Structure 1
């Protein structure tokens, strides 16, 4: 699902900027990462990674367009991903979701195209949380075992494994075939005669049947192809509330009509039928949160999702990405995440949350490790990349988030966002280079890269459901730039263009530097505003800041302009030279990305300046030698 909350980032940033009284903003960053190193997440859409079929017929079948398998993630493939500078791999689309393909001989019921988006189905309409997508297995009967083997191979490659949990909604036809003993399906014990009961898993429209939405804009399931179940009907009586909260028995085409909303014990009028956390609990650790819930009665849906998470933790999964976490009460997250942490204290818990006013609640009360930094950093950098915004808007974001910056995961692409190289975004993958340097080095937060981003994939394939610019998550499709690197499953870039190989080399250099840098887990100071006020030729298309620790001192500078080279004497404020213990004299700095640029910082009369000549879309990570 493409779920965006658009905020007036530039306006917010300017207000924050004008309110800032200090020329240099320095903040001590808390450390919450394994081994005090930066983390890098590689998000891969699992069914697309190993697909070497290049047909790309709109609405094509699996046989026509191909599909990748768990087994395509070979030791070689995983080694190459690891060597890119990756610490965690997020296998997107693993839990068994709706898919238009006949697997009835394996006991799997057919799914109705009227309530499935695309032919391969949305990974966010999960049908069975205790098994995996049958498309991804070579032997469907052993699909779970094939995924367990992938977990083992990933760990062997020193990669932590993340999968999705979608707590807000499930597929309309949820049915688990492999529930552990004593586990019941969602809705199995619901009282369907009432709209709401605290222990119902769903909300209902009593005595009313569900109706398929009216399809708009010429849309037809499967592109209009004939299918025995594609008849404009879906048997659901009584109707359930739709995943995005629509209470209508006939949701809109723009609603999440393929899903139903899960009930967490909040009545239709907003009353919470569960205990709330005591005052001050935002300062307590996960153990205290776990103990708080031990003797409490909680809604049935809470227990079901906790058991699902612990099931996958027991299989070796190292963490979860939670879809639309803010649509679920924060108290549930306290209950869920504390239970997970009791089993694996290093579990990586990432949430999709778009409301900045709720960030601290979901981190401190909900015990999330990381949240998407979407509506502030991502949206602002995107505007700069598109030429609509100024780099002046970036430093205030770090100031605003300074108490939680280590919890804000940074990205430039994911499955919901447009590809950088798409005309709808930047139209040029190289415009992502300065943005990526800033995103990966400005804080201690983890960095995320979406598969194909490192090759400049443009998402232009017309797969079926939805429109180009985002690589389809709904249909069987190939990813051309990735396929050239996969090179008939040699995973060696044998068919990559020079431009693709060069871009991947950039990502590899950058990401490997970040996961090994001591300074990037240390302190941050903005020097952009200082240079805007004091340095000739320095401008709003350039961004600079410093990162430092006791052992490493860095000056990071990026040029977002795709046309102009800039030359100037970059200045360090006096308080930085004091903290770095720089006396009068000369100090050599060398770029760590390509080791081709070096310059001398001259400290004289309490002023420090270093000559910078920076080309279009170029960045330097200058390290004190």
Structure 2
């Protein structure tokens, strides 16, 4: 799992927050003019979305546990997603990855369970970038056409399509049977007599054969079943380096053993055998980056991934989510993303980068649109939800990222993270409500939610590979809370409980407000730290800030406390009142989420005060009338 590698980074960020706390509090205005509106990304695990089967047998087959299809995304289903406030759908798990299912009659070779995680396989072990997962098609022969039809349905309803690209690694058994004429497979032209060559796609351990990991703690692929190809062997000579960077010919079972590391022209000693960007080039636009790489010697792997993304852009895909982008050199991203932007300037490019020290390089040099704000904002909000951290740590993070805040995508769930409602995270989806308000309204960046989050899915199913709390991405499984919304493919929430319906209504109200608000693509200023010093009854379970544009002024306040209600007078400092050009007197404010709370902003001696009564886990988005 990825979490071990984050520990040092998290500790570093906690130390950073503590140091910033000790500094003299000062008012910071963040002015943003880069966004015209907020975006909302709906991540959906494609094979699970429309599956109505509730059997959920551990390691169950596709026949036993069922699987969703592209065709399950009907116009009705897509319209309901759009009505949540969604602008972009990230269809996770589309490119053809290794699966344990027999499709040999369609010319698709079987995959070896010894190098596949789970029965349905990891979507991040792609074996053919020029086709789609056959599990997702009603007619396997027409699987690509069925996805193209889904792209069209999505576009017809006014939403954009995002799919995964995984440049750091490919499946250990990568072999495209669908590649266009003239395209060569990864490794097809490699010189396997050397460990490294700039134009080799992989790294090799000479004169050594790959060995399957030693399984520990009673684990065996596919549980108790012993299928034909599970023999503790996988033919690979010479052995390739593993996706997470392990150079062992026999990787550990906790390594990404089902994948192989792609070579981007970096020698085993770390030497870059390609041109680096000139000093100051981070300030140049994508057109200048595109021109920079013209007539340069480009490593073969760079060219292969350029061909792949161009293939999908031609199919109508609007953007990509890049897995583990920081494991690939930033120069490659300059090359790839500038090529994409030359073809589609509006392409939506988002990536996993978990090292805050690299954020600005990957945005400015690598021309990424959006990076996960995990290590800073997500991890801090999670600690607040769990009662381990203080809201006092949130404003310094927003201040630290203010120059790139538009590019830091916010989320509370995705396929890698624990479900909010899982006992190891919050234990209740209600605890995520104030966090969701803060996540969605504090910056101009996009908001991402994970399918089932809006219904309170708790991820408690033991599907096979991996452990519960995260909905399995490795096995065939149902998603119970989400399935109650699917309601036998009526997509009307007919089986949701009253609490689940209310939760979905909350998400719908919040997300739709964010995409329509001018203030949320305008200015930001913290008022939390000011009120911590000046307001009686205001504590580190609260968070407050203001957002505004020329024609909309918002005061946002949230209560993260699951046990206590609070009543206090929130103060708005004089510099904000002056900036807003408000005169002495009283101004009505109304909550925009449910429009059931009304109060007054009273301005005396240049300072504003509002009487606030917050229930447990309640938030207000107060608009000045």
* Normalised TM-score (structure 1): 0.99
1:379-390 paired onto structure 2 within 5 Å: 379-390=379-390
Counterparts of 2:195 and 2:134, CA distance in 1? 34
1:106 paired residue number? 106
Cα deviation, residue 26, structure 1: 1.1
Cα deviation, residue 2, structure 1: 4.2
1:5 aligns with 2:2: no
1:125–1:170 contact (8 Å) kept in structure 2: yes
Counterparts of 2:435 and 2:605, CA distance in 1? 34
1:445 aligns with 2:436: no
1:16 paired residue number? 20
1:149-168 paired onto structure 2 within 5 Å: 149-168=149-168
Counterparts of 1:231 and 1:464, CA distance in 2? 19
1:206 paired residue number? 206
1:390–1:540 contact (8 Å) kept in structure 2: yes
Counterparts of 1:380 and 1:527, CA distance in 2? 18
Deviations 1:364-388 (A, max 9, x none): 0000000000000000000000000
Counterparts of 1:518 and 1:28, CA distance in 2? 13
Counterparts of 2:121 and 2:497, CA distance in 1? 31
Counterparts of 2:149 and 2:440, CA distance in 1? 31
Counterparts of 1:596 and 1:89, CA distance in 2? 32
1:571 paired residue number? 571
1:90 paired residue number? 90
Cα deviation, residue 316, structure 1: 0.5
Counterparts of 1:18 and 1:218, CA distance in 2? 50
1:329 paired residue number? 329
Deviations 1:18-54 (A, max 9, x none): 23x44322111241x4xx0000000000000000000
1:39–1:86 contact (8 Å) kept in structure 2: yes
Counterparts of 2:261 and 2:600, CA distance in 1? 60
Counterparts of 1:440 and 1:261, CA distance in 2? 35
1:351-362 paired onto structure 2 within 5 Å: 351-362=351-362
1:47 paired residue number? 47
Q: Secondary structure at the match of 1:162?
A: strand
Query: Which of the numbers 28, 44, 47 marks the counterpart of 2:31?
Result: 28
Count of aligned pairs between the two proteins: 621
Deviations 1:145-183 (A, max 9, x none): 000000000001111000000000000000001111110
Counterparts of 2:105 and 2:536, CA distance in 1? 72
Moved over 4 A (4+): 1-4
Q: What is the RMSD computed on CA atoms of the aligned residues? A: 0.8
1:214–1:253 contact (8 Å) kept in structure 2: yes
Counterparts of 1:57 and 1:236, CA distance in 2? 33
1:245 paired residue number? 245
1:24–1:529 contact (8 Å) kept in structure 2: no
* Normalised TM-score (structure 2): 0.99
Cα deviation, residue 478, structure 1: 0.3
1:282 paired residue number? 282
Cα deviation, residue 224, structure 1: 2.4
Counterparts of 1:329 and 1:605, CA distance in 2? 55
1:385–1:435 contact (8 Å) kept in structure 2: yes
1:367-446 paired onto structure 2 within 5 Å: 367-446=367-446
Counterparts of 2:596 and 2:492, CA distance in 1? 26
2:485–2:494 contact (8 Å) kept in structure 1: yes
Counterparts of 1:514 and 1:219, CA distance in 2? 45
Cα deviation, residue 605, structure 1: 1.8
1:484 aligns with 2:484: yes
Counterparts of 2:380 and 2:33, CA distance in 1? 24
1:232 aligns with 2:232: yes
Deviations 1:66-101 (A, max 9, x none): 000000000000000000010000000000000000
Counterparts of 1:527 and 1:337, CA distance in 2? 38
1:99–1:116 contact (8 Å) kept in structure 2: yes
1:178 paired residue number? 178
1:531 paired residue number? 531
Q: Structure 1: 5+ residue runs without aligned partners?
A: none
Q: Secondary structure at the match of 2:6?
A: coil
1:201–1:264 contact (8 Å) kept in structure 2: yes
2:79 paired residue number? 79
1:348 paired residue number? 348
2:581 paired residue number? 581
2:549 paired residue number? 549
Q: Secondary structure at the match of 1:154?
A: helix
1:189 aligns with 2:189: yes
2:458 paired residue number? 458
Counterparts of 1:368 and 1:193, CA distance in 2? 36
Counterparts of 1:213 and 1:484, CA distance in 2? 39
Counterparts of 1:77 and 1:480, CA distance in 2? 17
